[in-house]
Amino acid sequence: MPKPLSPQDFLQKARSLPVVDVRSPGEFAQGHIPGAVNIPLFTNEERARVGTTYKQVSQPDALLLGLDIVGPKMSDFVRQAKALTDGDEILVHCWRGGMRSGSFGWLLETAGMKVATLVGGYKAFRTQVLEGLSEPRKLVVLGGKTGSGKTEILHQLRALGEQVIDLEQLAHHKGSSYGAIGQLAQPSTEHFENQLYLEWLQLDPDRRVWIEDESRSVGRCLLPESVWTQMQKAPLVLVELEKNLRIERLVREYACFDIALLYEATHRIQKRLGGQHHKAAIEALDRRDFAAVAEITLTYYDKAYLHGVEKRPVSYTCEPMQDDAASTARQLLSWAERAGVDSDQEIIRH
């Protein structure tokens, strides 16, 4: 029989072994253990048929229907599983750690593989995600107006050996109306939480963690309340980059994309810009004056951002003379060392 593992042990093994999620494609799309491969016992339609039979007829009839469906697929299941690993060990889970993962694990063991299953299934993993994200971390929130290069600064801090969480990378969105341009499709909020948890789990709780200032939602992905609350209480540092430098950065980042996407994003914030500013931004797009578009839209975004931070104490303001993420990261790191950010002492505010 497959060896049952606790969620903690299962995730530890998952660092080096392939994980097979045997739930339906619809369940997998809603959220899954990052890195898992979906080899569904049933399609979405087949799962619905088995469930209906279970509820309306009987459990034995549902079991027989399931066997009829799975039987012709069994050899292909083994081939797919073996293709995932150079060795013979593999991890398997379903929703509750019951019949689906147990039967799939039995099949693979019959084919000569060593299998471990997740006690409680994906449901138990989700419980651990929500509990784990409530564990405290020594966050430092990196703020700044749109176009300040905060994401690049985070990457430079990581290169300097700092712990970093890049929420925009996990959410595949940069936060603004233009934030989905050039990004992969966004995950569900559930899967966003799953990815965030695995990064959260790897953080040393005794060292500071840099994270970008975000609203509660990053595109369609909603930050867990526990993480959001920690961010609101964490030291806030601001990068004050001159507006002309921010405009230059935004032009570099967005002017290379299909202009139809820029029109769509600008139309989405028509009410927030106001009729006159929206009209001016569209006319600037018509003549391909991307700098003018950036300047107009920053009028709204700067006001919105300042409103969001005005009631929060700022621990440090960095005012770089150039748009140089590496230099800014070093300056922030120097401040953090002086201020004792990852110690228990009170933060020195500048």
Domain boundary assignment for the chain: 3-130, 136-339
Tens place of pLDDT for every residue, the chain, 350 residues? 789 999 999 999 999 999 999 999 999 999 999 999 999 999 999 889 988 998 899 988 888 888 888 888 999 999 999 999 988 999 999 999 988 999 999 999 999 999 999 999 999 999 999 999 999 999 999 999 999 999 999 999 999 999 999 999 999 999 899 999 999 999 999 999 999 999 999 999 999 999 999 999 999 999 999 999 999 999 999 999 999 999 999 999 999 999 999 999 999 999 999 999 999 999 999 999 999 999 999 999 999 898 888 888 999 999 999 999 999 999 999 999 998 887 544 444 44
Confirm whether pTM is higher than 0.85: yes
Q: Looking at the domain that runs over 3-130, which CATH code has it been given?
A: 3.40.250.10
Query: What 3 state SS string does 75-111 have?
Result: HHHHHHHHCCCCCCEEEEECCCCCHHHHHHHHHHHHC
Of the candidates 143, 142, 91, 97, the one whose C-alpha atom is nearest the C-alpha of residue 120 is 97
- Say how far apart CA 208 and CA 33 lie, in whole Å: 26
Question: Six-digit token pair at 66?
Answer: 């399931």
> Could you say which of 3.40.50, 3.20.20, 1.20.120, 1.10.3210 is the CATH number of the domain covering 136-339?
3.40.50
> φ, ψ for residue 92 (rounded to 5)?
-135, 140
Do 136-339 and 3-130 fall under one CATH topology?
A: no
Q: Tell me the two tokens of residue 215.
A: 């609203």
Which of 342, 314, 316, 343 lies closest to 331, judged by CA? 316
Residues involved in catalysis: 94
Q: What are the start-end ranges of the H helices in the chain?
A: 7-14, 25-30, 44-56, 59-70, 74-82, 99-110, 121-132, 150-159, 167-171, 189-202, 225-233, 243-254, 259-268, 270-273, 275-286, 290-309, 325-339
HSE, side-chain direction, 13 A CA sphere, residue 52: 6
